[in-house]
Amino acid sequence: MTEHPGLLAMRGTCQATSKPIRALKVPAGKGLGGRVLLEKRPITLADYLSDQQISHDFNPVVAQEGLHGMACVPIDDGEDLIGVLYAGIRRVGSIGDRAQANLLEFARSVGPMITAARHAEQQTRLRVSAERQRIGRELHDSLGPLLFGIGISARKARERVGEDDVADLLVDLDDIQLQASGAASQLREALRDLAPASAECAFSSVLQMQVQPFTQRSGLPVSLVVLGPPRTLTPTVQGVLLSSVREGLYNIERHAGAASVVITVKYDDERVTLVIQDDGRGLPRRFEIEVAPDHGRGWGLPAILGRAQALGGDVSLFNNDDGGATLRVCIPTGRGDADPH
């Protein structure tokens, strides 16, 4: 399967006899799988070990497994190449036409299922990360000030006690201060453990946290999908995207009459694209986002358009072919390092 657009990682084998092949990393253009990843087409070989169509970086692995004739086909989900599927025989010779046809058919059928499974796993991770942030925030807001207050009170009480007062009181106050310090230290450790694993996951979790109140309030299910390897975004870019989600969900709740919503964040090499789609009644005829709205129209989308354009991006809102509407916000990720304020 693809770890990123230029690298394959072997995730599993069937009837293999050697262990190294299970952890194989294949860059684009290298060997049979790398060639298929690069050219995005099926390739068959009569003898992997001597065929001149491919490089021979992985001959030792293939020889250890005893393979000769091989075929490799791309796996895609209808949009992106997400992996490759190998088949091999332990003799020199071509894999038959029927076997190749079955291989292609299986690759076509399994691609969407793999993508669906990845999205389901990703949404679970996002929900868990959002819950961890919620718990961490509540711990910080409730226990933090309490523990700090205990420590301050204990210190002040000790300062007011004269040297001639009861020694046991001083011991008790010292113990209170020590316990408060230890509890504060444990709280900091808990907050570190509850923090998202990375800045990239943190942003996706914040998006998920925007979705939960909307779903609870409106009853509309929302699917959050992240495509491409997430990257750290500048605070300015994050702010535009979060404002877009809030405004998009607000408009859907007020005007769309939708039954479901899908939010997609797609990371490309040079941009991040946010897409919010609903299956509601769609937009009025000749609707356009106005830079300076009048006639009582809101300022939410025009403000987002202005902020996105200041970063070299754009905002569009249009009707879907099959009903409903789509809000698309696209922002270059190589810009916006400095706030334009």
Average pLDDT over residues 320-331: 86
Eight-class DSSP state of 71 = E
Q: What is the DSSP string of 155-222?
A: HHHHHHS-TTS-HHHHHHHHHHHHHHHHHHHHHHHHHHHHS-SSHHHHHHHHHHHHHHHHHHHH---E
Place of tokens 């990720």: 333
The pLDDT value given to residue 331 = 92
Residue 70: what are its φ and ψ, rounded to 5°?
Answer: -145, 155
166-206 tens-digit pLDDT: 666 666 677 777 777 767 776 676 666 655 555 556 677 77
pLDDT value at residue 288: 63
pLDDT at 290: 58
Query: 0.75 exceeded by the pTM?
Result: no
Residue 72: C-alpha distances to residues 25, 37, 262 (Å): 16, 10, 34
Report the range out of 55-59, 111-115, 278-282, 291-295 with the highest average pLDDT.
Answer: 55-59
Q: How confident is the model at residue 72 (pLDDT cuts 50, 70, 90)?
A: very high
Q: Which has the higher per-residue pLDDT, 189 or 301?
A: 301
- Supply 107's token pair: 């690759």
Choose the weakest-confidence range: 9-18, 194-203, 239-248: 194-203
> Would you call 269 exposed, middle or buried from its count of C-beta atoms within 10 A (0-12, 13-18, 19+)?
exposed
Whether pLDDT at 335 is above 50: no
